[in-house]
Structure 1
Amino acid sequence: MYVGVLELDVVLGDVRSLKQKRSVVRPVIAELRRRFDVAVAEAGHQDLYRRTLIGIAALSVDAGHVGEILDACERQVAGRPELELVSARRRWLGPDD
């Protein structure tokens, strides 16, 4: 089994409160979960209202498939006009870990 973890550091557009932040981040997380069948959550910057860290995990018996899923998730977030993707970081766990 291969597990890939993707951390997306994101700056939000015109957001002025934590309530507005939730209204932007929740649909993004729900869409990733629905479209790609991945585990996803807001994993950092919870106290900042214009920034978030979205954590995504995918697993498969094929490392290439995990990479394709994480690539698609990254493209999906980067393509949203209300978000600015600052950085993307990946980690891998394989059968020997």
Structure 2
Amino acid sequence: MWIGWLEFDLLLGDVHSLKEKRSVIRPVLAELRRKFTISAAETGALDLHRRAGIGIAVVAADRAHVVDVLDAAERLVAARPEFELLSAKRRLRHSDDD
């Protein structure tokens, strides 16, 4: 079993409150979940209105599938015009790894 995850650090554009931030982040999370059947959540900078952290995870039997899904998810997030992708940290693990 292969497990892969990405952590995105985002800078939001014209957002002035946490409520506005949530209205930008929620649709992205929903799209990631729907398109790729992955787990996705807001994971960082919860108290800052212009920054956001998003984490996604995928589990599959095949390493190549995990990499393909993570690549596609990263492209989707990077292409969104309402924020800037500052960084993306990626990790892959096999269930036999110690």
The interval holding the TM-score normalised by the smaller chain is over 0.9
**Are positions 1:70 and 2:66 aligned together?**
no
- Give the unaligned 5+ runs of structure 2: none
* Number of equivalences: 97
What residue is the counterpart of 2:79 in the other structure?
Answer: 79
Q: TM-score by structure 2 length?
A: 0.96
Aligned-partner residue type, residue 13 of structure 1: G
What residue is the counterpart of 1:13 in the other structure?
Answer: 13
Partner secondary structure for residue 7 of structure 2: strand
Aligned-partner residue type, residue 91 of structure 1: R
**Percent identical residues:** 59
What is the CA–CA distance in structure 1 between the aligned matches of 2:91 and 2:12, rounded to whole Å? Answer: 24
Question: Displacement, 1:92?
Answer: 1.6
**Are positions 1:60 and 2:86 aligned together?**
no
Q: TM-score by structure 1 length?
A: 0.97
What residue is the counterpart of 2:89 in the other structure?
Answer: 89
What residue is the counterpart of 1:45 in the other structure?
Answer: 45
Q: Which stretches of structure 1, 4 residues or more, deviate above 4 A after TM superposition?
A: none
Question: Displacement, 1:95?
Answer: 2.2
What residue is the counterpart of 2:28 in the other structure?
Answer: 28
What is the CA–CA distance in structure 2 between the aligned matches of 1:83 and 1:66, rounded to whole Å? Answer: 25
Partner secondary structure for residue 96 of structure 2: coil
What is the CA–CA distance in structure 2 between the aligned matches of 1:94 and 1:21, rounded to whole Å? Answer: 35
